[in-house]
Structure 1
């Protein structure tokens, strides 16, 4: 993430540093500041934030000149021309090479008192960021609503004006326009769905006029062919499973079966040279009947 200001101060000067950060952020400067810092180690994250900031603001003081962290951060800012900007919160003069650079005095600054050095500091930060008339904005009172409106109209692209416009639209219930990145993501999602055979409406910014849109038979049939292929694969799978389970009957299933139409099942149930027990009653011997002679009906039997 890029910042407008990377604020550098000693741990002992944290209160005045917080006040400076609040003032800068109220003017819509993006400030990198670690208010929970307790050590003197200038770590890789500090170096990355300082490098990604347009300005490195150092608050020099009696405590700051003794801080290894402050000197390391100030050296990073001083290594890039036009990046370092210095402020003094007391009369302490820093060491070389920072002694000769201009320092804006903000000594005695409080929440109710703003030294002229702070106005000069804000003007310099605004100049680096392409912003103007920030001193005028800071001098507006609580009842100067008309002046603020005129200032916003005169500086429509200033972050203060952009923020005021967003708040006004939010109060009126107007939804912000989608960002360009969001529009691009929506277009990629629509293209992905179309490639997979699913029709989806194009984003508003990508919509094709009805008069010029031409039907595509391949796209129209894409979803239908996919469904047919899925159903066909399911049917084939069911047929294969049915054939496997019918042909490969287990011995237990074969033993309990009542039919011997399947030669393979009969072989498993009745080994060679044997007859199924259920057929033995058919082969039992009985009296021999001579069907070549007429049968004599015994009428002497008593009637029932």
Structure 2
């Protein structure tokens, strides 16, 4: 996320830094401020957030000049032209190279009292950010609705006017349009992905009353025609096979094994098949019921 102002102060000046941050945010500046800072180490995360900020506002004081974190952050801001903006909370003068740069005194500032140095500091930030008449806006109260409306109409591109427009559209139930970058990314992602129809998207044809009346089983005319043709073919083939006489081949020399029909055709009534003559030929009769005499 990009910030407009990276706010730097000593831990001991945290209450004043909160007040300054609140005033800046009321003017729709995006402010980075670590309210939970507990050490004086300027780490990689702080350097990254400072690099993502347009301006750095350093609040000098007797405690700030002793803070390694404040001096390290101020050095980062001083190294980038047009980034560093300085204020003073007391009479303390910072070390070089910060001593030679312009500082805006906000000594004695409270929630009810705004020093002239604060207005000048806001004008400096507004000028660098391409914003104008911020001091005039700060002079309006809640009762100056007409003056505020005129100011917004005269500055339609200012973050204050843009925020006011969003609030009015939200109150009217109008959803904000997506950002240009987000919209283009979403369109590109949508074009690169081939849509897959879901089960719910594939709808089955709904049968009308006329279709239900003529098709009680819920089948189409094509299905009914195919089933009718198959049934007709089965009956037709059955009739053809039943009307033909099956003539079994006659083999006079082959024995009849469990086939009375073939045996009847090969052997007329009153005759014995030649293959059975040897089986029926008489032979000696053996009495196997008597035991032969045993030899003495």
TM-score by length of 2: 0.65
Compute the displacement of 1:159 (Å): 0.4
Q: SS in structure 2 opposite 1:19? A: helix
1:102 aligns with 2:102: yes
Compute the displacement of 1:119 (Å): 0.3
Compute the displacement of 1:88 (Å): 0.4
1:292 aligns with 2:290: no
Q: SS in structure 1 opposite 2:54? A: strand
Q: SS in structure 2 opposite 1:47? A: helix
1:12 aligns with 2:15: no
* Cα distance in 1, alignment partners of residues 193 and 50 from structure 2: 43
Equivalent residues, number:
205
* Cα distance in 1, alignment partners of residues 102 and 196 from structure 2: 66
Match for residue 122 of structure 1?
122
Unaligned runs of 5+ in 1: 200-289, 295-304
Match for residue 149 of structure 1?
149
1:200-225 CA deviation, whole Å, 9 max, x = no partner?
xxxxxxxxxxxxxxxxxxxxxxxxxx
* Cα distance in 2, alignment partners of residues 10 and 67 from structure 1: 6
* Cα distance in 2, alignment partners of residues 146 and 138 from structure 1: 14
Match for residue 41 of structure 1?
41
* Cα distance in 1, alignment partners of residues 177 and 55 from structure 2: 31
* Cα distance in 1, alignment partners of residues 88 and 9 from structure 2: 10
Compute the displacement of 1:99 (Å): 1.1
Alpha carbons of structure 1 residues 12 and 174: separation in structure 2 relative to 1, 3 Å: same
Match for residue 218 of structure 2?
none
* Cα distance in 2, alignment partners of residues 185 and 101 from structure 1: 43
* Cα distance in 2, alignment partners of residues 132 and 78 from structure 1: 25
1:119-175 CA deviation, whole Å, 9 max, x = no partner?
000000001110000000000012100000000000000000000000000001111
Match for residue 257 of structure 1?
none
* Cα distance in 2, alignment partners of residues 45 and 74 from structure 1: 15
Alpha carbons of structure 1 residues 71 and 186: separation in structure 2 relative to 1, 3 Å: closer
* Cα distance in 1, alignment partners of residues 280 and 182 from structure 2: 105
Match for residue 25 of structure 1?
25
Compute the displacement of 1:292 (Å): 3.0
Compute the displacement of 1:115 (Å): 0.4
Q: SS in structure 2 opposite 1:4? A: strand
Match for residue 72 of structure 1?
72
Compute the displacement of 1:184 (Å): 2.4
Compute the displacement of 1:3 (Å): 1.3
Compute the displacement of 1:198 (Å): 5.8
Write the mapping of 1:263-278 to structure 2, written as runs, cut at 5 A: none
Q: SS in structure 2 opposite 1:117? A: helix
Q: SS in structure 1 opposite 2:112? A: coil
Compute the displacement of 1:291 (Å): 6.6
* Cα distance in 2, alignment partners of residues 97 and 140 from structure 1: 38
Compute the displacement of 1:97 (Å): 1.2
Compute the displacement of 1:293 (Å): 7.4
Match for residue 180 of structure 1?
180
Highest CA radius of gyration, 1 or 2?
A: 2
